[in-house]
A and B are shown apart, each in its own frame.
Chain A
Amino acid sequence: MATAAEQWVLVEMVQALYEEKEELIEEWQPEPLVPPVSGDHPALNYNVVSGPPSHNIVVNGKKCVNFASFNFLGLLDDPRVKAAALVSLRKYGVGTCGPRGFYGTFDVHLDLEDRLAKFMQTEEAIIYSYGFATIASAIPAYSKRGDIVFVDRAACFAIQKGLQASRSDIQLFKHNDMADLERLLKEQEIEDQKNPRKARVTRRFIVVEGLYMNTGTICPLPELVKLKYKYKARIFLEESLSFGVLGEHGRGVTEHFGISIDDIDLISANMENSLASIGGFCCGRSFVIDHQRLSGQGYCFSASLPPLLAAAAIEALNIMEENPGIFSVLREKCKRIHKALQGISGLKVVGESFSPAFHLQLQESTGSREDDVKLLQEIVNHCMDRSIALTQARYLEKEEKCLPPPSIRVVVTVEQTDEELERAARTIKEVAQAVLL
């Protein structure tokens, strides 16, 4: 709103304020530069990985099977992808040394955007050089002060930062609860009818994830599209975990549900999971995506994606297009280990059966989050001793809006054989029994 008009201040009052200023300076005590932190803070006790985080990962000198990295299609160590990256490295060098608008646009960037748009069957795509910054730049490019965003409670941290940067009104609805979302939309509709002139200039958005990183569940997209057309809101779909996983050809949750991609206004995904590259992309209609070329902060004001990574992503897309069978293979493996991990006493499996990244949470929490974290860390350490590399889902506890309960995040990749999956399930069962009982 408007700033208040100037005020008149007496000279004597200004003098008194100066004296008060001196007092305040005297009594100020600086905070320590580094706040005191306990010795077992996870950031101080990290695991050291030597070599690439591929299927067989070397953690703290011990060879383990990787159940922690989001390498869903196993393209991290793929020789074709590495060869394409090396060719690009010899051609272009390593970095681009500039943002897209300042001599940082290479033909590989345009190629990758073209390929992604064709793959997702949309008009245009735009590449960001950092996966976190993709959705965090896309949301504030469209949603400004005075606009309303309906977002799921389990939205990932990148979405939360994007919403914070947008300065819009945020309405949280319960995770995957369409009735709650409809209630909020109805309330907003009543407000709009009271003030139609304000409603005409207010934009409404619904931000959801395809497969939620924090819970491993899928969003009910058909109902969301119905709500979108009923209450006139735009849908922003974040497909970081579902791109290259769901759908017949790996196109994500829209293909999984058979919804036309034109119903979704913006799809955003990061290329750091299935595509085994770095960065992210947004795709949609040209009218929508073109706006981000000037308003996407992460696009305009960050150096562009290194060409070797763009070439690696193009090769990864080639592989995805050549063998569309890997997606169903991946989903089969997910279903298998999901079934195998049911019935562990003390741990419950949270997530869809076909989700490659799901969580194991404690069935009964001990009461304090630190104890839960310690317990889960024991399980993780024991599994690591038996060469199954797992990790806990870590959060910035003070910054998250709705902090999820502590959990172990298990990731299934296409490279894991059935024996390894069986062994992992058995190991987790035995370790959980040993630690929790």
Chain B
Amino acid sequence: MGGGSADSVPPIERAQMGEGGCFLETAGVEASAAPRAPRASEASSFFRKVRYLFPLLLEVPAPSLGVPLQVTAEVMNVGVAHSEVNPNTRVMNSRGIWLAYIILVGLLHVVLLSIPFFSIPVVWTLTNVIHNLAMYVFLHTVKGTPFETPDQGKARLLTHWEQMDYGLQFTSSRKFLSISPIVLYLLASFYTKYDAAHFLINTASLLSVLLPKLPQFHGVRLFGINKY
């Protein structure tokens, strides 16, 4: 990708914010600047911070160009040679994994439904809670990789969520995995008829699985839990 006007850079996401009605674009920039428009005096220092990341700015990553491109480009590389340093970063982009995830949640729900003692509200709350518990354990607790990576253990202290797409935020998989507990929560709220006790349990469970997904919580370990 060469130089040229910024309009030629394909935008990943357009969000209209209140500040002067300008379009904001996302870029994978490892800068310590706060996410607000810096004033002219600090613009130069900001430039200096991001100067060495020119290639990153210009190479806007492809996966978010559009859904059709993603489905054909990303394939599950099982049993073939690949140059991916850490395959964990690409697992949730593999072909068919979103469908498998949905089917798995559906299977969990059907198994719970087949237990004769549980009423429908209890089953939905249980589905929601068990799904969120499993998601918390696999995405936000277990760290590192089950295989050796050629980068001498760069991801040894990172959870799977933090490893996804090498830390790039707001990718499609991350959005999918953030929305699925919300969808489950809405369904559970409906089927429990907004009962107070169920509401408390479901909301607490949803929060426990949504908070770690925020970009602000990337790499954060509260009270030193799960740090090493």
CB within 8 Å of B: which residues of A?
Answer: 1-18, 20-22, 24, 140, 144-146, 165-168, 197-198, 200-201, 294-295
Contacts and interface: CB of A to CB of B under 8 A. Distances in A.
B201 to A, nearest CB: 30
Contacts of B31: 4, 7
Given A17-B54, A18-B4, A167-B152, A9 B25 contact: yes
Given A6-B215, A17-B57, A295-B148, 12 more contacts: A2-B167, A3-B166, A4-B30, A4-B31, A4-B32, A5-B169, A6-B170, A8-B35, A9-B26, A10-B24, A14-B57, A144-B153
B77 to A, nearest CB: 19
A401 B161 CA distance: 39
Contacts of B46: 13
Given A3-B167, A9-B57, A18-B4, A145 B29 contact: no
Contact of B3 (A22, A167, A198, A201): A22
The 7 closest A-B pairs by CB, nearest first: A2-B219, A3-B167, A5-B215, A144-B153, A6-B169, A167-B152, A14-B6
Contacts of A12: 22
Given A3-B30, A7-B33, A13-B43, A145 B3 contact: no
A2 B218 contact: yes
Contacts of A17: 47, 50-51, 54, 57
B28 A20 contact: no
A46 B216 CA distance: 60
Contacts of A168: 152
Contacts of A22: 3
Contacts of B37: 10
Contacts of B167: 2-5
Contact of B224 (A15, A21, A197): A197
Contacts of A5: 167, 169, 215-216, 218
B152 A166 contact: yes
Given A9-B29, A146-B156, A1 B219 contact: yes
B24 A8 contact: yes
B3 A9 contact: no
Interface in B11-53: 22-33, 35, 37-38, 43, 46-47, 50-51
A21 B6 CA distance: 13
Interface in B135-186: 148, 152-154, 156-158, 162, 166-170
Contacts of B154: 145
Given A4-B32, A144-B152, A197 B166 contact: no
Contacts, number: 111
A18 B6 contact: yes
B5 interface: yes
A197 B216 CA distance: 25
A316 B45 CA distance: 65
Contacts of B170: 6
Nearest to B5: A15
B115 to A, nearest CB: 39
Residue picked from A2, A15, A165, A167, most chain B C-beta under 10 Å: A2
A144 B148 CA distance: 10
A197 B227 contact: yes
Given A21-B3, A145-B156, A11 B22 contact: yes
Nearest to B162: A2
- Which residue, B46, B153, B162, has most C-beta atoms of chain A within 10 A? B153
B9 A145 contact: no
A77 B157 CA distance: 53
Residue of A14, A17, A166 with highest tally of chain B CB at under 10 A: A17
Nearest to A11: B6
Contacts of B4: 18
B228 interface: yes
Contacts of B57: 9, 14, 17
B33 to A, nearest CB: 6
Nearest to A9: B27
Contacts of A295: 148
Contacts of B158: 2
Contacts of B227: 197-198
Nearest to B143: A201
A15 B9 CA distance: 11
B37 to A, nearest CB: 6
Contacts of B24: 8-11
A7 B3 contact: no
Contacts of B6: 11, 14-15, 18
Nearest to A4: B30
A15 B4 CA distance: 8
A144 to B, nearest CB: 4
Contacts of A13: 38, 43, 46-47
Contact of B22 (A10, A21, A145): A10
B41 to A, nearest CB: 14
